[in-house]
Structure 1
Amino acid sequence: MRARALLAVAALIPALALLQPGRASAEILQLRIAQQFGIAYLPLIVAKEQKLIEKHSVANGLPETKVEWLRLSGAAAMNDSLISGGLDFATAGVAPAILTWDKTRGKTDITLISSLGSMPNILTTNNPSVKTIKDFTDKDRIALPSVKVGFQPIVLQIAAEKAFGKYDKLDDLTVSLPHPDATTAILSGTGGITAHFTSPPFMEQQLESGKAHAVLNSYDVLGGPHTFNVVYATKKFATDNPKTIDAFVAALDEANAWIKANPKEAAQLYIAAENSKLDPAFIERIIRDPQINFTTAPERVDVFSDFEYRIGLIKQKPTWKELFQPGLHAKGGS
């Protein structure tokens, strides 16, 4: 009897080992993803609606992963939830994500999982006297989602350095205001806001109204197409769940290909999923914009790292390969 009991315990040892945390064979079965609002997050919306992450998890030899989708606004809330363990994947602009990478080095340690695509942000104004950023005066106020360290303020600082030789030249004119509120202010001409550095669909709403015009395009500032938003996670999570990471990137690649092949259907899916009141034809025009490229490959990320390091926002200057998890390195980023 004692011999049979010992044999039974011995037989259980391999199975128990598979359940130990941190082993690749014991990857998570529930993935928690937080996204923000806007067309920049369309690949995630498509992946959610078409259950592409679940599909590629099974194809990668994993049980079907259960995906929980969360809505958070702003990098601060994302980071707090990620670091506390309440979230597996966070999303934010590439510029603040680099700041988070630097601040968590040697502590939580994060790694960027994938780009969500390249798309321009445009600085608009309802002030007819402003043709370039050199025309702004003390009477102007430039609305940004967050001042100083968000995506738009970093790009504005890069532009100011080129125009004035002083990167913080326009900082005193900037105010924090959510994109929808800033768009309302620009279109109504109230609230003292005369300019807004913004992204799709808000910039198109303003420009197509005829009440605002473009002052600068972020593609011009950075020398070409650049990554806008990224997905990131803790390095431990990425190391412990390599098949899940690969399945997630494959799901985004499939979503991106579907968006490009089916822009009309993608617009309709976005409207339905977001319960948006925007015209589907308006969203379709944005998706078809040749400047917008939904891709997982990083573009011009090094430009952000170089600038943030040079002005002292980050202590170490990473290359894009140091920022992104190894599975993305073969995509030929920059």
Structure 2
Amino acid sequence: MTHRVTRRTSLLLAAGLATSLATGLVSAPALAQEKVVRIGYQKYGTLILLKNKGLLEEKLKPLGYSVKWAEFPAGPQLLEALNAGAIDFGNTGEAPPVFAQAAGAPLIYVGYEPAAPQGEAILVPKDSPLKTVADLKGKTVALNKGSNVHFLLVKALEKAGVPYSDIKTAYLTPADARAAFERGSVDAWAIWDPFQAAAEKTIAARQLADGTGIVSNYQFYFSTKAFVDQAPQVVDAVLAGVAEIGAWVKANPKAAAETFSPLIGIPAPILEVALARQQYDVKPLTPQVAAEQQKVADAFFALGLIPKPIRIADALRAPKS
């Protein structure tokens, strides 16, 4: 009996496989072509526009790749996914990759956007008695831990002569921080555009300082070492798409703001303000930019925010031969 059942099962499996092959449900060539680049993006920035316009899919077709997109609330969460192997490419501000590299993430810097120091700020309510960064001593500041504004806060306090240990931090995502800011649960909010521009325009939030003269506020593009080694041409195609979208934003800021608006839920006139603070370009990392990024890493280690010193040079893409 056992022999007859096993034989019958084998025949059924063989018949099923033959049917699948005949109908195209299973084929070796199709399986071989199932190559995907998984890209993490945030609600604001060049990558969401690249996704929205569908340009990248066309660029990758000749390479046999498709695209899978994943949205994240901020840079730290995006790089956690990169570390976990859930995505192959993404972009964030200065601080998230420092935390990620210190945690062992196999990230590789593959490009950067020029400095945009006005694109992040430390805000207070319009009627706050706080007038300068020095007034933050003993106060509570909301921010997304490990985000670009984390470094802005560190350096702004340093410039004002206030030890980082003399303030309290409330680590909150942008949405939760906005709510805490409005109900008065925190004294200040370190935040980036477009949330910064929205708070300034809709609730008259006031700047204690933006990044001008304090930090550069670069945006960086990343992949993993494995993916850069496996598909460098795909990484280059993504960066080419980013450059193309960046050029379009520069030439068409009003249209870009109108495109962003329904994606983010922020009125286009506010987004025009935020867009004007960005550079929207992508370039290979220079020694100067890498050196500035090393200063971010060194500052976080000195404050005990990361557990060990790291070398940015260890995470740079090798020059093309």
TM-score above 0.5: yes
Match of 1:46? 49
How many residue pairs get aligned? The number is 281
Q: For the residues of structure 1 that align with 2:103 and 2:173, how far apart are their CA atoms?
A: 25
Q: 2:68 maps to which residue?
A: 68
SS at match of 1:168: helix
Structure 2 letter corresponding to 1:307:
A
- Aligned-pair distance for 1:242? 0.8
Q: Which amino acid aligns with 1:53?
A: L
Match of 2:165 in 1: 168
Question: 2:152·2:214 contact (CA, 8 Å) conserved in 1?
Answer: yes
Contact 2:137–2:162 (CA under 8 A) maintained in structure 1: no
**Structure 1: segments with no counterpart, 5+ residues:** 1-18, 20-25, 330-334
TM-score normalised to structure 1 length: 0.73
**Quick one: which of 35, 39, 42 aligns to 1:36?**
42
Look up the match of 1:218: 211
Matches within 5 A, 1:1-334: 29-37=35-43, 39=44, 41=45, 43-58=46-61, 62-63=63-64, 65-75=65-75, 77-104=77-104, 109-115=106-112, 118-119=115-116, 120-126=119-125, 127-138=127-138, 140-146=139-145, 149-164=146-161, 166-170=163-167, 173-186=168-181, 188=182, 190-209=183-202, 211-222=204-215, 225-227=216-218, 229-272=219-262, 274=263, 276-287=264-275, 289=276, 291-297=277-283, 299=289, 300-311=292-303, 313=306, 315-319=308-312, 322-326=314-318
Flag the 1:160–1:27 CA change in 2: closer, same or farther, 3 A: farther
Inter-partner Cα distance in structure 1 for 2:33 and 2:281: 26
What's the CA shift for 1:76?
A: 5.4
Query: CA deviation digits over 1:143-165, x for unaligned, max 9?
Result: 1122xx43322321222223226
Match of 1:16 in 2: none
How far apart are residue 237 of structure 1 and its match? Answer: 1.2
Give 3-state SS (helix, strand or coil) of 2:241's partner.
Answer: helix
Q: Closer, same or farther in 2 for the Cα pair 1:161/1:27, shift >3 Å? A: farther
Aligned AA for 1:199?
A: W
Larger radius of gyration: 2
Q: Tell me, what secondary structure is at the counterpart of 1:99?
A: helix
Contact 1:123–1:195, Cα closer than 8 Å, also in 2: yes
What SS is found at the alignment partner of 2:56?
A: helix
Deviation at 1:86, TM superposition (A): 2.5
- Runs of 4 or more above 6 Å deviation: none
Shift of 1:117: 5.7
Counterpart-to-counterpart distance in 2, 1:103 and 1:80: 9
- Deviation of 1:258 (Å): 0.8
Task: Tell me how far 1:28 sits from its aligned partner.
Answer: 7.4
Deviates more, 1:117-126 or 1:85-94: 85-94
Aligned to 2:23: none
Contact 2:148–2:217, Cα closer than 8 Å, also in 1: no
Identity of aligned pairs, percent?
22
Q: Cα RMSD (Å) of the superposition?
A: 2.9
Aligned partner letter, 2:66: K
User: C-alpha offsets along residues 81-133 of structure 1, whole Å, 9 cap, x if unaligned?
Assistant: 334433212443321212212332xxx62212333564331001125321112
SS in 1 for 2:122: strand
What is the distance in 1 between the residues matched to 2:314 and 2:75?
A: 20
1:28–1:155 distance in 2 versus 1, CA, 3 Å: farther
Please tell me the residue identity of whatever aligns with 1:219. Answer: T
- Residue equivalent to 1:8: none
- How many angstroms apart in 1 are the aligned matches of 2:237 and 2:210? 34
Q: Displacement, 1:284?
A: 2.1
C-alpha distance in 2 between matches for 1:258 and 1:208: 25
State the SS of the aligned residue for 1:134: helix
Task: Summarize deviations over 1:36-73 as a string: whole Å, max 9, x none.
Answer: 22x3x2x1122112222233335xx523x211111233
1:294, CA displacement in angstroms? Answer: 1.3
